[in-house]
Amino acid sequence: MPDSIPRLGIGTWQNTDPEACANAVATALDAGYRHVDTAQAYHNEEHVGEGLARADVDIEDVFVATKLHPRTTGLSHDDVIEGAQESCDRLGVDQIDLLYVHWPTGDYEPAETLPAYDELVERGLVDRVGLSNFTPELLDEAKSHLDAPITAHQVEMHPLLQQRELREYAREDDHWLVAYSPLARGEVFDVPEVEAVAEKHGVSEAQVSLAWLLTKENVAAIPKATSEAHVRDNYAALNLDLDPEDVERIDAIDREERLVEIDGAPWL
Ligand code: NAP
């Protein structure tokens, strides 16, 4: 297994209301989450930082992940170096635990962008490097330009997009596959196989989707939730033990439904 990261994190995309975002992060930390996922492109790092400050936890114990974006901030060498410092300032941390390349598009140039990430690790501003929305070919290319190991590859993953190839790649490369949109942005509530397993255990479809993801070796998940009820419901997935036949039933779903797409996505 790669170096550990907390396997359940709180996602924050589209949580841009200052109070709602700070409150969701603080509520999650008070409920037990120790992994927070944000990005410069979400325009909420300050609010996430406010939540981190407000929660009754030592910030050293929280795994804070953010991302630099090819369009929002740019991925040239100087943009990366300056962008990481700006993220630290907004988040109120001395070091970012995991800094991702958000998308391998726009001005992402592996030979320029990735050595800048290595430089941030050497300077101590970043602890670990992550990539997001890459293909196996782009991961191979990235590895040839990075000294630091890839700690995590963050991609869309849920029962309707099971990412079998990238899971295998992650196992072989010994990195985490971090599942974004792990509730399929709400679609899991209407997947018959997930509904049946939820009914059997008397839990929500959200919990089933997350518990299923967490049965996979090397997979972490970062559901976004705003209300306390959702934050706590998702956290309870850590205590849900699915039976082998439940896992097989969801494994057998043969749908490829991608919900997050941008112009220039590498799989287009
Ligand atoms: P998601 O986590 O699959 O779904 C979020 C939606 O589900 C929200 O509408 C939320 O509502 C609702 N929800 C959460 N818990 C629930 C529960 N227990 N019961 C009922 N509804 C519930 O979607 P996502 O936000 O797309 O993905 C999660 C995180 O992944 C993002 O926030 C972001 O941090 C990351 N992400 C990364 C990328 C990337 O390119 N790297 C792309 C997309 C997402 P409320 O908010 O009202 O609670």
CB distance 186 to ligand 1 below 6 Å: yes
Q: What is the pLDDT of residues 153-187, one digit of tens each?
A: 999 999 999 999 999 999 999 999 999 999 999 99
The rounded percent of the chain whose pLDDT value lies above 90 is 97
Pick the CATH number of 10-186+217-228 from 3.90.79.10, 3.20.20.100, 3.40.228.10, 3.30.365.10: 3.20.20.100
Q: Tens of pLDDT along 15-46?
A: 999 999 999 999 999 999 999 999 999 999 99
* Percent of the chain with pLDDT strictly greater than 70: 99
SS (H, E, C) the chain: CCCCCCCECEECCCCCCHHHHHHHHHHHHHHCCCEEECCHHHCCHHHHHHHHHHCCCCHHHCEEEEEECCCCCCCCHHHHHHHHHHHHHHHCCCCEEEEEECCCCCCCCHHHHHHHHHHHHHHCCEEEEEEECCCHHHHHHHHCCCCCCEEEEEEECECCECCHHHHHHHHHHCCEEEEECCCHHHHHHHCHHHHHHHHHHCCCHHHHHHHHHHCCCCEEECCECCCHHHHHHHHHHHHCCCCHHHHHHHHCCCCCCCCCCCCCCCCC
Minimum CA distance residue for ligand 1 atom 13: 225
Instruction: Name the residue of 69, 101, 155, 181 to mutate for ligand 1: max ligand atoms within 8 A of Cβ.
Output: 181
221-233 pLDDT, tens digit per residue, is: 999 999 999 999 9
Q: Is 226 in the pocket of ligand 1 (CB under 6 A)?
A: yes
What would the pLDDT profile of 110-152 be if each residue is shown by its tens digit? 999 999 999 999 999 999 999 999 999 999 999 999 999 999 9
Instruction: Say yes or no: CB of residue 182 within 6 Å of ligand 1.
Output: yes
75 lines ligand 1 (CB under 6 A): no
Across the range 76-88, mean pLDDT stands at: 98
Q: What is the pLDDT of residue 73?
A: 86
